[in-house]
Chain A
Amino acid sequence: MTDLQSLDIPPGSSHKRPLVVMRNVSKSFSSGTLALSDMSLTVEGGEFVSLLGPSGCGKSTALRIIAGLGDTTTGTIDWPASRINVRGLPEGDISFVFQEPTLMPWQTVFGNVYLPLRLRGVSRAHAADAIMTALDTVGLKDFAKAYPRELSGGMKMRVSIARALVTKPKLLLMDEPFAALDEITRQKLNDDVLKLWRDTGITVIFVTHSVFESAYLANRIVVMKARPGRVHADFPLQTSLERGPLYRASEDYRAACEKVSAALLDAMGGEAMEMH
């Protein structure tokens, strides 16, 4: 039914629909933890949203629920602009990059990036072009035949990103993808993700602990509060500069860092007061 509903608006219609709408979502685990409480969030196509908050506030849980990994306790996730399948998910529109590269050690880089297409029944020969393009995007074309154990941490993460891109998703969910990497690699990958975002118009929801990373990447900041998890602050970050080395040295960036930092402190301060 929903399939038909989403079809009757022609693509390219001027009437823009949000990509994903989280409506009053609560999530409690069997252990009794209320990880999310009445969380609502609407993400438009093409946004780069950075999700921040104190540890344990439910960022990963929110991301997993958006991806359909685990049900909501109450509330709904809607995909107004997508065709959805029987599981209520937009077929092939979402990709996930975990904090760990999460590669299959028995497969080559090529085989790992092939996975999403293989699961859809695409033959290796038909998938080859898409795979090599995705590997090219992350600069690993020459490593297609290598096994994960032969790669550095940063390279494994790039493979993970290539795998996420190979299906040409509309929404890229990233859960602290670069937290385990050194500063230089992290900045390099940040620039790669930004380039990808600009070039493809993909929508990104990016979970991070780093104020600097979120201020550098995102054009919208969502700060969450813990116990129970909910949205505490939600604001855009505007700049006339293109995000890059120039932006990193600019007054806009410094102001953005301060703004994000203040919002985060506010979210955490509230928690500290509740504990008294």
Chain B
Amino acid sequence: MSTASPVPTAASAAKNRETLLRILIPILVVVALVVLWQVLVTATGVPQYILPGPGAVAQSLVKDWGTLAPALWVTTQITMAALGLALIGGVGIAIFLIQSKWIETAFYPIAVILQVTPIVAIAPLILIYAPTTQVALLICAFLVAFFPILSNMVQGLKSVDHNLLNLFDLYGASRWQTLIYLKLPASLPYFMTGLRIGGGLSLIAAVVAEFAAGSAGAGSGLAFRLLEAQYRLNIPRLFAALVLLSALGVVIFGITSFIAWLGLHRWHESSVRREN
């Protein structure tokens, strides 16, 4: 504001600068940490099989891309498929549950029992029943991601403003219209919360379930490559697999946050800048 330029330009310039800083600062912090890591490793001379430097990890990433890339693809597929199924299932069953008090009374306890049972404990059982390991992993990841989406959706669908429900009644809205025009949009913020939690959990579950399954061969995912690298004391490759997993996690987080922003930014308090 100290410049003589008109206020809108100054304001938008300030806004641009802020956006730039928002992106730049976290990148700088990450770069600084990586550099620090390299410096420490070089300075202390830690052997590579204990703690490889970022350079060695990057090298391994390039060298082992042939084995890591297919594994990344498998894990990505399982995670995304599980999340997709969990979204369809969670929303669908939530809509079914709120249709009547009796349906909810009858089915909600089952949902709770399934939710509180640690899924990893069911994993061995699923491994026996499922036709392939991939399917077993998919089922595990699905189950873990499904419940947060379901419970968020049920809560969202039920927390609709009563006056708005009255209004829809007054205008003779059908059950279907009330669902489409009122309940679903009103539960969008809850859905987005479920989506973000579910996205994170499905990746975690896909990895944990693969640890439990310990499957080998062409169709194995990043978790198996990680175990394998540990077994062979190929620590740079272990780190490379880890980097890919966290990159996948970041991408999923980015996508789900972007979807949440798309759906909510024009109207919901959580996505709207406070302007007083």
Contacts and interface: CB of A to CB of B under 8 A. Distances in A.
Give the interface size bracket for A toward B. 20 to 34
A77 interface: no
Q: Is the interface of B mostly helix, strand, loop or mixed?
A: helix
B186 to A, nearest CB: 8
A96 interface: yes
Given A102-B163, A149-B272, A119 B169 contact: no
Given A116-B171, A119-B172, A105 B181 contact: no
Given A104-B164, A106-B267, A118-B181, A69 B173 contact: no
B171 A115 contact: yes
B267 A149 contact: yes
A100 interface: yes
Given A102-B167, A104-B164, A149-B272, A119 B267 contact: no
B163 A98 contact: yes
Interface string A84-102: 0101010100111010101
Interface string A105-140: 111000000011011100000000000000000000
A120 B172 CA distance: 8
Interface residues of B, number: 22
A102 B168 CA distance: 11
B246 interface: no
Contacts of A104: 164, 182, 185-186
Interface in B236-269: 266-269
Contacts of B170: 67-69, 94-96
B164 A147 contact: no
Given A67-B170, A116-B171, A119-B171, A102 B185 contact: no
A106 B185 contact: yes
Contacts of A100: 163
B168 A119 contact: yes
A96 B267 contact: no
24 contacts: A67-B170, A69-B166, A89-B172, A91-B172, A96-B167, A98-B166, A98-B167, A100-B163, A104-B186, A105-B267, A106-B185, A106-B186, A106-B188, A106-B268, A107-B185, A118-B181, A119-B168, A119-B171, A119-B177, A120-B171, A147-B267, A149-B267, A149-B269, A149-B272
